[in-house]
Structures are given as C-alpha cells and as structure tokens.
A and B are shown apart, each in its own frame.
Chain A
C-alpha cells in the first residue's frame, strides 16, 4: 500500500504531461482531460474497482446500451463501474458489475448521480465527472479497510 502511495505523484505528473502535449479534438480541454484522467486513475487506485467513463450518444434504450458497454468494458467486468453520460440526450447512467455492486449499492450510485446531474444542469461536465467519481470512490471505500471491518 505504501508503495502504491509513493507512486501516486509520479503518475499524476505523467498524466498531466501526456494530456497537455497530446492534441485532442474531443469536448474537453487539456486541463479538463488531465483532471478527468487523474480522477479516473486515482479513484480506481483507491477503491480497487475499475472506473471507466463513456461520453457520447447512448442510443434509444440508454440503460441497455450502457449495460452492453459495461459488458465489454475490458478487464474484469464484475469489478468495473461504468459512468456513461450522453450530453446530447441529457442522460447519465452508472452501471456496476456484480463485485462492484456489493461495494457500491444502488443508493450510493443514486447519490452520485444526484451530485452529477446538479452540476451537469449547470453545464459543468468536468466538474460533474470529477465530483461524481470522487463520491463513488468515497462510497466504495478502500478494499483493505473494508475487509478489516
């Protein structure tokens, strides 16, 4: 654990450099990308769950689409949490795998959704993503600390 923490700052620095130097045509500025990347990586590292973020159209049946995305999100899907948002449709979906759902009950997800939609309604995409991820990782807690209880 200590070792992981020691590697934290270097990972952050690395992240920032790549985000700034790589060109991007997406909806986010370099600064936003750096923040999102940091939030994704840190929350994944803290909780031991794998957080992925999808931004784009979710089709007509947004839930089914998000669940299909979750099923092919790579890694171990049961340990994966997918945050999918479709700004065009103004829909946000959080999908948890079987192992992740034990750590992140639906109520915790709903709370994160509430936080995020509040910011999304104000047009703050990056803030919504970063704060939503932070709230999700806070709810999930640390794997070893949870095991101790």
Chain B
C-alpha cells in the first residue's frame, strides 16, 4: 500500500501562506471596511467610508500615473531584456553571463537606488562628466522626475525579465529560425513570426514579474521621484504613516491588488489563447507564472 503524503508535504507551505499571506490580506480587507481611528488604527465599526474616499481626483490621477509609469517601465524592461536573454541563451558561457545578471542582487536595493542618486544627482558623476567634457557649465536636473523613476525601475526589474526570457529562449529550437529564413523570411520576420510566438510563456512571465512589482513600487518613486512622480505605493505609505488613515490605506491596497490581479488574468488569458500548445510543450504557462507572483505593495 502506498500512502498519499501529498497533504503532509503541503503542510509547511500551507502554514507559511496562511500566516504570512492570507492572514495579512484578511486584515487589510477587514480594515478597509472599518472606520478610522483618530491617531491610526481602526474603530470596530463597519463602514464604506474608505471606499467612498477612493473617488478623489488626486488619488485617481496618481492611480492613472502609476498605471502609465508601470506600463512604460515594463515596455522598456522587456525591450532590453529580450535581446539580453537571447544573447545569453546563444552565448558559449551562459553561467558567467547569468551570474553577471544576478550580481546586483548582492547589494541591498536601497543602496542601489542611492547609487543612482550618486550618478544622476546635481553634483553626481553624470553632471561632473558633462562639465569635464565641456558640454554643460551648470548642472542638469536629472533626478526627481518621472524619467528618473522609470529609468531606475527599469534597472531594478531587468533581471526579473531577463531570467524567464532566457530560460524559454534557451529551450527554443534555433533550427526553427533557420527554417523560417530558408522559407523566405527576413531576419526580422523570422524573429517576429517564429521566435516570439514560441517564447510567449517566458514573455508573459517576464511581463507579469515586472509589471506587478512596479505597479506597487514605493522606494524608487520616494527616493528618485519628485512630488509629480508619486505612485500609489507612496500614497498608501503616507496614509499609514502620516495621515494615519488606515482604512483608506487598506482600500487603496485593495484597489492595487484587484487592478494587478485583473491585469494579470486578462493578459494571461489573451496570450494563452494564442500560444496554448507552446505553453503545454514548455511547461512554462502564464498560469504557473502567475501562481508565484509577488503581489503589489512592496519595493
């Protein structure tokens, strides 16, 4: 007789998720339906006040900006990650190049953001360089705008896009590109009509792994963005720590979660329809990709 140990093996995982994911989520859901207490915390009274406050023009414009910045940053990340993943997959020393991709993780991410400040700041390396080259006499304001936020976000999340793209491109049969060329496709046509459809699984994973955390970004816009680069993550943090309106912070968080969740489901569903069999073959499906995804609200 063989016993099914599946449930026992799943135990630790279930416990972990319950304590650190489901329970906090439940608390946030609960708080979002309560009344605010004056100095933080909540009053145990049911209320839809927090959700009514969401329909606030300032908040909606931040939400719209967050969506826009996340979209642009994701597009740039993927556009850079695609050729990167391709060249790593085709190179002779994959291990070394992959190592270089993950090396930045050895440095704390706050320190990496400060490194960007050191590069882009008014007295930073880039301005120094421009002055030495005689291109500018006074400093250029690189920091504290949306461009700086997007640049640093792209830098931060590039490895998360390169790794899944690399792993699907690595499994791709490059003879297919030769076949496409042989059948009359130009280099570009071969890439667009044969490579891209066959690495859809990796693309979906890469998009979700960058879009979702960027949507919840907090530290990057706080440190390199100005007031006009504020994102939802910053608003939530302000509501928790400054305004002390915990129900509102919770309801905005719920909004972020629902929005990203919805985006992920829609995106995964549309690309699955077009690439179903590829996903079956490679085992890297949009669904398995979404399963392990970090929800918005950190970084």
- A pairs with B: no
